Structure 1
Amino acid sequence: MRYTIEEIRQMPEGQTFDCKSIHIEPKALANTIVAMANADGGMIAVGISDKTRRIEGVDQDKAHLNEILSTPFDFCVPSISVTTEFIPCQDSEGNDNHILIIHVPASPRLHANQADEAFWRVGDKSRKLPFEERLQLMYDKGERYYEDTPAYDATIEDIDMDAVKAYMKRIGYGKSPMEYLQENKGFLTYKGDVPQVSTACILLFGKHPQNFFPRARVRFIKYYGTEEKVGREMNVIKDVTFEGRILDQIQKTIDYLETQVKEHSYLGEDGLFKTDREYPKFVIQEMTVNSVCHRDYSIKGTEIQIKMFDNRLVFETPGKLPGIVRADNIRHTHFSRNPKIAEYLKAYDYVKEFGEGVDRMCRELSAIGTKEPQYNLVAFIMKATVWANVLEEGQENTISDQKRPESDQKDSKTTQKLPRNYPETTQKLPLDITPVQKEIIDFLLKCPYAGRKEISSHLDSLSEDGVKYNLKLLQQKGIIKRIGPNKGGYWKVLIFE
């Protein structure tokens, strides 16, 4: 995806993006390149000050630019095969100039700098790895790229080119589907004259992925009670399997889980209609995406299983926690076992920003008084448990119940009939609030941690720039307030206090 200079200036520094001054020393730049290559890859914009975001450009110092260009080869051990591009711009002095974009791939090897120091990307920092973590990462790198291995007996005919086209449109790639597959991510390579279709290609773009990977699917099992019973006491009340390409599996699984989540709708003391849920929507999505994105696809004997009990959801995923991720650092440490699959899902907004999803999930669970997810490895299965926000007995109903006709709802003993004339949000809003701004306020009441991109996705008619403009107006009117930093804070709607 090719970015404009303004888009790059607005990008927040994080797991996969960093800005660097043209004056940076190659030895210092090597640490960032090494850290990204060891983690999930990323993009470095050279010629933009990381402190002020002032556009310096790179044309004015050709000798130093050449040192920068040679950094991945001369200062990284082993060398890192980056790709580069120059984007035209006007620098802060008003002169025509360029910035340098360095695309760093996630590497299957462990890299270090010239001083034999290995680094790892954590958020917007490059952290030096201690010996134990460096050794663990070196071992895990070997299993990381199963997604690159050829899918046995797969041919070009097994690829759905329409699915490839849809993804190309999403990322703004202008060539043909075949060119994309041959020139990017190793999806399609050749052994002599014989095409080799990668595992990731089949999982993402295959016509029938389960023909090659029968257990690459998601199974949902719902139990009556809080324990899993077998034999004559078996307590399974739902058992549904979701197949297809990875994107289809995720969409179908999340949609179905939403029909099983209980809700409690009621009129609050402030006269506003409120809804409590067993599990926040973001938690349902994040746990599903993590399971599909980070499972070990080389383990072929079982599928992902999501088990719903009366008091918890358990996500059972083949494979241990990847890389140097552990149960005690998972909230702020990220490693993609399948980086190509992760990058694909990021383009479809299922991965918001590498390394931030678990932290946000923990915050949302804490906000409803529920403890953080628990992770434990049983044999080769990682079990992640999310505890429910247990609703009052007799007051909960599932989303699927709400969508049924009113005549059907009357027969349900567990469904609370909703008030017909509950107050609208607009009753307390100033008259000069536009319909779009009302939609933004309604969304922020439900999702206070949402960013501009997420709000824009919810409001199909409004771009991210439009969201930014309207948020500023609402702040000026004293209707909303930003609590905390841009990264990690949340929106507070003041008018309902």
Structure 2
Amino acid sequence: MYESLTELLKQISLGEDSVLELKTVEFAGNKIKGPHRDGMADELAAMANTHTGIIVLGVDDKTRKIQGIPSDKLDIVESWLREICNDLIEPPLDCLIRKLVVSDPERGEKLILRIDVPRSLFVHQSPGGYFRRIGSSKRQMRPDVLARLFQQRSQTRLVRFDEQTVPHAGLEDLNPRLWRRFRTVVSPRDDDVFLEKMKLVALDETGVLRPTVGGILMACDAPEAFMSSAFIQAVCYRGSERNAAYQLDAKDITGPLDVQIRDACNFVERNMRVYAVKAPNRIETPQFSMNAVFEAVVNAVAHRDYAIYGSKIRLHLFADRLEIFSPGTIPNTMTIDSLSERQSSRNELLTSLLARCPMNVNAVGSQRSFIMDKRGEGVPIIITESEKLSGVRPVYRLIDDAELKLTLFAAKPPQGKG
């Protein structure tokens, strides 16, 4: 949008609109006294909540004249902006800030700051509340509008969340080795056509081809670089308390989702105890069924709500249980009691891609050839396998209607074994 300086200046001459905001910057010594920090945060969040736009600092919004910013204060303004984006907006806003030189026939060269604000994957709150942009001004959102926006940017949308484009991500951020594994003999030969057909990339609002959320999660080496909470926090504790003093092992599990599934299962297998008795042949009894653990991790990764900022999957292993926390409520009209009977997917794109990934975990007893089968057998396997091994039925619990917790209970050691 307005990539050339000529285009930008032409638009500035026309004045503010839905995608352009102009502001002068006033100083008191080395401190910025205008615009106000809170007001600037409201403007940035409003634009991110509505659509991709540009804010230009150093231009009078009334006269449309270039006032400029002193060269020795450019870095001060840039730091001020970054602090606003990180500290006053929740979740923090990622913007592109550029310093531009503008030639003024009357006053010579002037310096301005251009802030590109992408339409966000999230709904942002600023000091004044929740705002959206209407024309050249911001408006606080009514409760019904806000609820609809949260819904649109979560799981229920004509274009699902995992099919939305990721701002600032480019095609070069997708690893060809990762996306080529989804190719079949009937796939289009043209790479861009294939990527679009698979919904790994899509056109954003400005017509630029960008990776989708699903593309980043499945075909990027480091999804957490674009979606900071797209990883699994795995921790193993010595006893039954969540206490850092008793922590035995910990790892932030990153990478494409199928790699996260593999590494999370390996973390459990590496840290759980395996009891052995001779009766008369050696019989080994693991604390947990790896088939059940595999299904539980797959469900957590495939069905979590990636639209919730700052919430990661947590896998916590204790001496007597395994707890897996997955961000998001239960999809659609499902309930805790109906989980084992019904099937529903929040992320259709992700589940379809995982169904093309070969099985990569030694889940004893599993008949899977691919990570997902989409037949709705995961929860029944989790319940049956775990209860058969430990004698205790796993427990699902919905926390604050925002996080699903699954507890798998460990098998007790055979008599005489501690």
Partner of 2:295: 286
Partner of 2:283: 274
Partner of 2:371: 350
**Which of 225, 244, 247 pairs up with 1:211?**
225
Relative to total residues, which structure has the larger helix share, 1 or 2? 1
In structure 1, runs of 5+ residues without a counterpart are 1-136, 397-497
Partner of 1:198: 212
Matches within 5 A, 1:79-94: none
**How far off is 1:249 after superposition?**
1.1
The verdict on how the C-alpha distance between 1:366 and 1:207 changes in structure 2, with shifts beyond 3 A counting, is: closer
Q: Which amino acid aligns with 2:317?
A: M
Secondary structure of 1:179's aligned partner: helix
- Whole-angstrom CA distance in 2 between matches of 1:143 and 1:294: 18
Partner of 1:315: 324
Q: Is the counterpart of residue 156 in structure 1 residue 171 in structure 2?
A: yes
Partner of 2:112: none
**How far off is 1:140 after superposition?**
6.2
The verdict on how the C-alpha distance between 1:301 and 1:190 changes in structure 2, with shifts beyond 3 A counting, is: closer
Partner of 1:362: 383
The verdict on how the C-alpha distance between 1:302 and 1:192 changes in structure 2, with shifts beyond 3 A counting, is: closer
Q: Which amino acid aligns with 2:375?
A: F
Secondary structure of 2:379's aligned partner: helix
User: Does the Cα contact within 8 Å between 2:179 and 2:219 map onto a contact in 1?
Assistant: yes
- Give RMSD over aligned pairs: 2.6
- Whole-angstrom CA distance in 2 between matches of 1:191 and 1:147: 16
Partner of 1:115: none
The verdict on how the C-alpha distance between 1:312 and 1:185 changes in structure 2, with shifts beyond 3 A counting, is: same
**How far off is 1:278 after superposition?**
0.8
Cα deviations by residue, 1:152-188 (Å, 9 ceiling, x for unpaired)? 111111111111112225x863634322112233633
Q: Which amino acid aligns with 1:360?
A: I
- Whole-angstrom CA distance in 1 between matches of 2:282 and 2:170: 55
Q: Is the counterpart of residue 236 in structure 1 residue 251 in structure 2?
A: no
**How far off is 1:142 after superposition?**
4.0
Compute the TM-score of the two structures, normalised by the length of structure 1: 0.47
Q: Is the counterpart of residue 255 in structure 1 residue 246 in structure 2?
A: no
**Which of 327, 334, 339 pairs up with 1:325?**
334
The verdict on how the C-alpha distance between 1:388 and 1:146 changes in structure 2, with shifts beyond 3 A counting, is: same
- Whole-angstrom CA distance in 2 between matches of 1:219 and 1:394: 34
Secondary structure of 2:277's aligned partner: strand
- Whole-angstrom CA distance in 2 between matches of 1:363 and 1:238: 28
- Whole-angstrom CA distance in 2 between matches of 1:376 and 1:298: 20
User: Does the Cα contact within 8 Å between 1:218 and 1:249 map onto a contact in 2?
Assistant: yes
- Whole-angstrom CA distance in 1 between matches of 2:168 and 2:416: 54
The verdict on how the C-alpha distance between 1:260 and 1:266 changes in structure 2, with shifts beyond 3 A counting, is: same
User: Does the Cα contact within 8 Å between 1:264 and 1:277 map onto a contact in 2?
Assistant: yes
**Which of 367, 378, 393 pairs up with 1:372?**
393
- Whole-angstrom CA distance in 1 between matches of 2:331 and 2:306: 12
Q: How many residues align?
A: 254
User: Does the Cα contact within 8 Å between 2:155 and 2:347 map onto a contact in 1?
Assistant: no
- Whole-angstrom CA distance in 1 between matches of 2:240 and 2:302: 28
- Whole-angstrom CA distance in 1 between matches of 2:412 and 2:319: 8
User: Does the Cα contact within 8 Å between 2:175 and 2:221 map onto a contact in 1?
Assistant: yes
User: Does the Cα contact within 8 Å between 2:351 and 2:374 map onto a contact in 1?
Assistant: no
**Which of 177, 183, 188 pairs up with 2:202?**
188
- Whole-angstrom CA distance in 2 between matches of 1:361 and 1:338: 20
Partner of 1:39: none
Partner of 2:305: 296
Partner of 2:405: 383
The verdict on how the C-alpha distance between 1:191 and 1:366 changes in structure 2, with shifts beyond 3 A counting, is: same
